[in-house]
């Protein structure tokens, strides 16, 4: 049951408080995010593009450790993972 948290910058567009997500053993990270998006369906388009890839300036962390972008989506959730953070890169001007 990892907790999924979306950065404040995302929540300024689509509110979605931190939530506990049911995850079956060997669940993919994509499955976990899909479950989280059920609480705020329009958030999906802010995090993923129409092909299901992670947007280039979104970063994922599992218990504080960074994950390698889109490839991480189709990998199993790290064993024992308690928290997923979805944040935006700090770039632009």
Partner 1 sequence: MTPSSKLHVATRKGLFTLEPGRGDAWEITGVDHLAIPVSAVLQDSRDQTLYAALEHGHFGPKLHRRKAGGPWEEIQVPRYPERPADAEPERDIMGRTIEWKLRSIWTLEPGSSDQPGRLWAGTLPGGLFRSDDHGDSWQLVESLWHDPRRQQWMGGGSEVPALHSISIDPRDPKRLALGVSCAGVWHTADDGASWEPHESGMRAAYMPEERQFDPLAQDPHRLARCAAAPDVIWCQHHNGIFKSTDAGRNWTEIEKAGPSTFGFAVAVHPEDPDTAWFVPADKDERRVPVNGSLVVTRTRDGGRSFEELRTGLPQRHAYDLVLRHALDVSADGRSLAFGSTTGNLWLSADGGDHWTTACPNLPPIHAVRFA
Examine residue 92 and tell whether it contacts partner 1 (CB under 8 A): yes
Q: Token pair 């506990």 is at which residue?
A: 20
34 SS3 class: helix
The CA–CA distances, whole Å, from 35 to 46, 53, 67, 93 equal: 15, 16, 19, 33
Applying CB under 8 A, among 25, 50, 65, 80 the residue interacting with partner 1 is 50
Examine residue 53 and tell whether it contacts partner 1 (CB under 8 A): yes
Examine residue 63 and tell whether it contacts partner 1 (CB under 8 A): no
Applying CB under 8 A, among 38, 42, 66, 83 the residue interacting with partner 1 is 42
């Amino acid at each position: 049951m990892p907790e999924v948290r979306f950065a404040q910058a995302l929540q300024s567009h689509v509110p979605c408080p931190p939530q506990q997500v049911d995850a079956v053993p060997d669940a993919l990270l994509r499955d976990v995010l899909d479950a989280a998006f059920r609480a705020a369906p329009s958030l999906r388009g802010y995090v993923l593009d129409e092909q299901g890839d992670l947007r280039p300036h979104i970063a994922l962390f599992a218990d504080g450790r960074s994950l390698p972008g889109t490839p991480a989506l189709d990998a199993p959730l790290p064993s024992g993972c308690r928290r997923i953070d979805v944040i935006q890169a700090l770039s632009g001007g």
